[in-house]
Amino acid sequence: MSRSIYGGAVFEMAKQQFEQVANHLQIPKMERDRLLYPKRAIAVSCPIHRDDGRTEVFQGYRVQHHLTLGPTKGGTRFAPSVDVGEVAALAVWMSWKCALAGLPYGGAKGGITVDPYTLSPRELEALSRRYMQEMIPFVGPHTDVMAPDMGTNEQVMAWFMDTYSMYQGQTINEIVTGKPVSAGGTLGRREATGRGVAYLVGRALDHLGVKAGDATAIVQGFGNVGSVTAYSLAERGVKITGVSDHTAAYYDPAGLDVAELQRHITKRGQLAGFSSQSTIEPSDLLLRKCDVLVPAAMEQVITDQNAPKLKCRILAEGANGPTTPEADAILDRRGSEIFVLPDILCNAGGVIVSYFEWVQDLQRLFWEEAEVFDRLYRILERSFQQVIARAKHDRISHRMAAMAIGVNVVQSAKRTRGLFP
Ligand SMILES: NC(=O)C1=CN([C@@H]2O[C@H](COP(=O)(O)OP(=O)(O)OC[C@H]3O[C@@H](n4cnc5c(N)ncnc54)[C@H](O)[C@@H]3O)[C@@H](O)[C@H]2O)C=CC1
Ligand SMILES: O=C(O)CCC(=O)C(=O)O
């Protein structure tokens, strides 16, 4: 690629990971740009009226990585960090994630550069609707299907679906996933990512011969992924000793009450103010001793600075891209000390159940919750087994194995369709 619009540390990280796996797979140089660089990137300006009467314009993006296997699929992030590079990296990771799980999708991701915590509910609705309105020419149930990510939720998905449907003159549920059940969503999507993380942690504990009832876990981020992961791990008997969000971090070796934490969040909207006794420095949280460490917030929180000091047995990546390549190299050197569940495997529960939601919407035929989770766990189990086997066979890390499987799927589909070069 001569010059690209994709810059920044997060895209560099996705690129570095891809180059490593491409070297391992001996992918010819001329094929690499085709696999890595996104098909399309859309940038839009979203003006809204603020509650104080001002007009403010927010920048929005959507990056569609490849359309080789079907429509593109991925979440929409509302966060101050959002830029085209971050969104592109997340779209690339979505592609490897969908391919590893065997879903008929390419990856996409979108977002708005905004701190959603500073918006009133009316402003959030106006911005969500304006963003979808601007995206209408570029998305569709068979082109690109959005879903939630950081800073967005079921309500935002309902506004997206409603805005798109109003412009089409009919209800089109299948334009987004992660909707409320009352607006054509599926049972289980809200919990899918966190329950998937907990399922895979259970499998990793089995692998290490550790009983869930003897294990402890620390979870960074207490939003959709973090809170459901904490809850589901606690249900499996794991003691939750640490949690954090963007406002506070708590650690108690005796265990924290996840239901209490959830009630506090529902009331206050943030973890701050939960307890004065167990409060600790957020940066310390990741370094506390535990069996399972779950980063479930931002990218690049496990770095070359803290990777040598991690005291966990399992690193379960609920977040996308929490571990930098430099940290990965350190974890590799630490060998079997830390069992890594890489992001594209660990947090795939969300997009897998999104796929189920899309299928149900297209068919207008809805499943029982038990069927959703039974099918989810079967796919996760297959992916887990494939990653473990590939890592062992090729003598590579779990991340490289997961990516190798995903990249191979996309590469072979491109070759078969004749889209290369
Ligand atoms: N929502 C989903 O279905 C999926 C989300 N993910 C990934 O999981 C991660 C979290 O996403 P969601 O839970 O959906 O977002 P969310 O918006 O529901 O929650 C994010 C959480 O992270 C916390 N947070 C933000 N900055 C932080 C910081 N500096 N330190 C500690 N906590 C911080 C927030 O306070 C909040 O508790 C992201 O990386 C996202 O891309 C991955 C797969 C699916
Ligand atoms: O549910 C989806 O379609 C995508 C979820 C997502 O954004 C992710 O897996 O990172």
Residue 138 sits in the same domain as residue 233:
no
Q: What is the pLDDT of residue 419?
A: 59
Average confidence (pLDDT) over 25-30: 93
Any ligand 1 atom below 6 A from CB of 261: no
* pLDDT tops 80 at residue 90: yes
170 pLDDT band, cuts 50/70/90, is: very high
Q: What CATH number has the domain bearing residue 288?
A: 3.40.50.720
Domain stop point among 323, 347, 371: 347
Residue 229 sits in the same domain as residue 317:
yes
Residue nearest to atom 9 of ligand 2 (CA): 351
Three-state SS sequence of 228-265:
HHHHHHHHCCCEEEEEECCCCEEECCCCCCHHHHHHHH
Residue 66 sits in the same domain as residue 159:
yes
Q: What CATH number has the domain bearing residue 125?
A: 3.40.50.10860
Residue nearest to atom 2 of ligand 1 (CA): 149
Instruction: Please give the distance, rounded to the nearest whole angstrom, from the Cα atom of residue 297 to the centre of ligand 1.
Output: 4
Q: Which helix (H) or strand (E) holds 108?
A: strand 106-113
pLDDT tens digits, 262-320: 999 999 999 999 987 899 999 999 999 999 999 999 999 999 999 999 999 999 999 99
Q: What is the pLDDT of residue 276?
A: 76
pLDDT tens digits, 373-396: 999 999 999 999 999 999 999 999
d(CA 352, CA 358): 10
Domain stop point among 127, 151, 183: 183
Instruction: Please give the distance, rounded to the nearest whole angstrom, from the Cα atom of residue 224 to the centre of ligand 1.
Output: 7
Residue 195 sits in the same domain as residue 117:
no
Whether ipTM exceeds 0.85 = yes
SS3 of residue 32 by DSSP: helix
* Ligand 2 pocket test target in 175, 177, 225, 354 with most atoms within 8 Å of CB: 354
Residue 297 sits in the same domain as residue 339:
yes
Residue 350 CA: nearest ligand 2 atom is: 1
Instruction: Please give the distance, rounded to the nearest whole angstrom, from the Cα atom of residue 15 to the centre of ligand 2.
Output: 20
d(CA 105, CA 355): 9
Any ligand 1 atom below 6 A from CB of 216: no
Residue 302 sits in the same domain as residue 264:
yes
Q: Which domain holds residue 293?
A: 190-347
> CB neighbours of 285 closer than 8 A, spacing ≥ 6?
218, 220, 242, 244, 249, 251
Residue nearest to atom 36 of ligand 1 (CA): 223
pTM of the model: 0.98
Point out the residues that are catalytic: 109
* pLDDT tops 80 at residue 48: yes
Domain stop point among 322, 347, 372: 347
Residue 194 sits in the same domain as residue 338:
yes
CA distances from 305 to 245, 283, 294, 301, 368 (A): 21, 11, 18, 10, 46
SS3 of residue 293 by DSSP: strand
Residue 247 CA: nearest ligand 1 atom is: 35
* Tally of structural domains, the chain: 2
Residue 156 sits in the same domain as residue 262:
no
Strand partners, 56: 48
Lowest mean pLDDT among 174-178, 273-277, 351-355: 273-277
Residue 355 within a domain: no
Residue 402 within a domain: no
Residue 166 sits in the same domain as residue 255:
no
Nearest-10 Cα torsion for 275, 277, 278, 280: 100
Q: Which ligand is nearest to the CA of 82?
A: 1
Contacts of 306-315 spanning 24+ positions with Cβ under 8 A = 307/331, 307/334, 308/334, 310/286, 310/338, 311/287, 312/218, 312/338, 313/208, 313/210, 313/337, 313/338, 313/339, 314/201, 314/204, 314/205, 314/208, 314/338, 314/339, 314/340, 314/341, 315/339, 315/340, 315/341
Residue 233 sits in the same domain as residue 338:
yes
Residue 173 sits in the same domain as residue 211:
no
Mean pLDDT computed over every residue of the chain: 97
Any ligand 2 atom below 6 A from CB of 349: no
Residue 205 sits in the same domain as residue 342:
yes
